[in-house]
Amino acid sequence: MHIQFLGATGTVTGSKYLLTSGASTILVDCGLFQGYKQLRLRNRAQMPVRPSQIDAVVLTHAHLDHSGYLPLLVKNGFRGKIYCSEATFDLCKILLRDSGHLQEEEAAFANRRGYSKHSPAMPLYTEEDAIRSLEYFSPVPFGKWFTVFQGMSATMEPAGHILGAAIVLISDGSQTITFSGDLGRSCDPIMPPPSLIEKTDYLVVESTYGNRRHDPADPSHLLAKTIRETAARGGVTIIPSFAVGRAHTLLYWIHMLKEAGDIPPLLPVYLNSPMAVDATAIYRRHRRDHRLTQEQCEAMCHSAKMVNTVEESMALNERRQPMVIIAASGMATGGRVLHHLKAFAPDPRNTILFAGYQAGGSRGASMIEGADSIKIHGEYVPLRAKVAQIDNLSAHADGDEIISWLSHFSAPPRQTFITHGEPAAADELRKRIEATLHWRCRVPEYLETVEL
């Protein structure tokens, strides 16, 4: 087998791993690059392999940095099967369509306002492209080996993180390589901990928080404090959030905080993401994949007013009373949250609260680093609102949790590849694994090919 690293090297986005063995060519994950412009430009560049030459795709989970390139892959000639867990397929039905729709909306908006450097601005792919890609999905249950393509088989085990997230093991009959995907946390209030893997010949492990330790404090305390203080000064709390996973964790905590009286029970809370609204039904459908009881699931799904239409979304920007708005996207890279930021970022009474990782080059990272203005739709918007972050609400394992997960292997892999992290995080995790577990590790480069 050979593996080529087509993404998630030196960055937390663009996950793509090309695996070849004999006559088989398999792509593990097919994500979009996000953040810095030089990374986003890779989304429009030609892939090192023609999509028509890829025999199959195996997805670890539905987040767009792992699945969002699929519509373009199909548009450009891929005709194989896309294997994933059953919940991942249900989420991709929502996420990919929404991604195409948003790209069309943003291109149209740029053309109307004339702020794009391209004339006309064109979406990377459309909603129709996304719908077409769904025809190639082939969901499989957890824990069952299946044939990916000639001589190549795979199985998936739950990874925590979000609904349907999987750890993927792939074998060519003589050796096995395991992809951690995004590892969840042992203490997540909604998702169970990642499955333990006994052994593998080669391992590709994520390192998003490889150089950090999550604050052990209860994240709900900071969430409650921020919402209370913002409401007390007459402000609005804007929470940019990934529509799948993070938004629902926030809804769960808000429900619990209102029940406990830690935030005003009558404070209006809005979930402004049609995609997140649709995803709530998937939590009901896949009850075995998460920790919540039926009662808790229903309470989570009813803890906010769901905003569906554009008109409802625009009306929120005219309100000047305390409220909480949860809106996609989590790194403020697109979606409805941008319109809320334009409306509320200039007012010092308001708070912009980030509840997850912010990739380098994203608006979210810039705001956390202290920017005094942010560029949205070609215009600079003053940033006078308070900016805060709840770091330990992340759905990613931190450095300690990754090491703990690795320590359960019965024997060290022949080689461990550390990906899906900024350079400092990936290198720090490499050092820790080498020092504590004495495994052979490497941090691969973009487009590097390794013979296994």
Q: What is the pLDDT of residue 304?
A: 87
Q: Which pLDDT tens digit goes with each residue over 221-238?
A: 999 999 999 999 999 999
Q: Which pLDDT tens digit goes with each residue over 25-81?
A: 999 999 999 988 899 999 999 999 999 999 999 999 999 999 999 999 999 999 999
Q: Is the pLDDT of residue 246 over 90?
A: no
Q: What is the pLDDT of residue 276?
A: 65
Helices assigned H by DSSP within 199-272: 219-232, 246-260
Which of the 8 DSSP states describes residue 387?
E
Place of tokens 């590849």: 417
User: Domains of the chain, with CATH numbers?
Assistant: 2-212+396-451 (3.60.15.10), 219-393 (3.40.50.10890)
Q: Tell me the backbone φ, ψ of residue 169, rounded to 5 degrees.
A: -110, 130
Q: What is the pLDDT of residue 295?
A: 85
Q: What is the pLDDT of residue 449?
A: 98
Could you give the CA distance from residue 329 to residue 258 in angstroms, rounded to a whole number? 25
Could you give the CA distance from residue 138 to residue 394 in angstroms, rounded to a whole number? 29
Tokens of 414: 């022949």
Q: Is the pLDDT of residue 145 over 90?
A: yes
Could you give the CA distance from residue 400 to residue 406 in angstroms, rounded to a whole number? 10
Q: What is the pLDDT of residue 275?
A: 67
Mean of all residue pLDDT scores within the chain: 92
Tokens of 430: 């490499």
Could you give the CA distance from residue 438 to residue 421 in angstroms, rounded to a whole number? 21
Rounded to the nearest 10 degrees, how much is the dihedral formed by the CA atoms of 411, 415, 420, 424?
A: 100
Query: pLDDT category, 273, cuts 50, 70, 90?
Result: confident
Nearest Cα to 96, choosing from 123, 63, 56, 74?
63
Tokens of 49: 């392999």
Q: What is the pLDDT of residue 409?
A: 98
Region 128-155: what's the mean pLDDT?
Answer: 97
Q: What is the pLDDT of residue 71?
A: 98
Which H/E stretch holds residue 285? Answer: helix 274-285
Tokens of 333: 């890279």
Query: pLDDT category, 451, cuts 50, 70, 90?
Result: very high
Give buried/exposed letters for 49-69 (b at 16+ CB in 10 A, else e): eebeebbbbbbbbbbbbbbbb
Q: What is the pLDDT of residue 43?
A: 96
Question: What value, to the nearest 5°, has the Cα angle with vertex 451 and ends 450 and 452?
Answer: 110
- R_g of the chain, CA atoms, integer Å: 21
Region 292-315: what's the mean pLDDT?
Answer: 85
Region 339-350: what's the mean pLDDT?
Answer: 96
Q: Is the pLDDT of residue 128 over 70?
A: yes
pTM: 0.88
Region 270-295: what's the mean pLDDT?
Answer: 82
Diameter over CA atoms, the chain: 65
Question: What sign for the dihedral angle of Cα 249, 251, 252, 258?
Answer: positive
Q: Is the pLDDT of residue 313 over 80?
A: yes
- Which residue(s) pair with 306 in the sheet? 271
Which H/E stretch holds residue 76? Answer: none
Region 72-91: what's the mean pLDDT?
Answer: 97
Q: What is the pLDDT of residue 378?
A: 84
Q: Say whether 439 sits in a helix, a strand or coil.
A: coil
Nearest Cα to 238, choosing from 167, 338, 375, 118?
338
Q: Is the pLDDT of residue 360 over 90?
A: no
Check: CB of residue 364 under 8 Å from CB of residue 394: no
Q: What is the pLDDT of residue 115?
A: 67
Region 356-372: what's the mean pLDDT?
Answer: 87
Tokens of 280: 């709530």
Q: What is the pLDDT of residue 274?
A: 67
Which of the 8 DSSP states describes residue 290?
S
Which H/E stretch holds residue 64? Answer: helix 64-67
Q: What is the pLDDT of residue 366?
A: 92
Give me the amino acid identity at 444.
Answer: P
Could you give the CA distance from residue 188 to residue 253 in angstroms, rounded to a whole number? 11
Q: What is the pLDDT of residue 290?
A: 92
Q: Above pLDDT 90, what percent of the chain?
A: 71
Q: What is the pLDDT of residue 134?
A: 98
Q: Is the pLDDT of residue 420 over 80?
A: yes
Which of the 8 DSSP states describes residue 198?
-
Q: Is the pLDDT of residue 243 over 70?
A: no
Q: What is the pLDDT of residue 154?
A: 98
Euclidean distance between the first and the last CA atom of the chain, given in angstroms as a whole number = 5
Check: CB of residue 148 under 8 Å from CB of residue 23: no
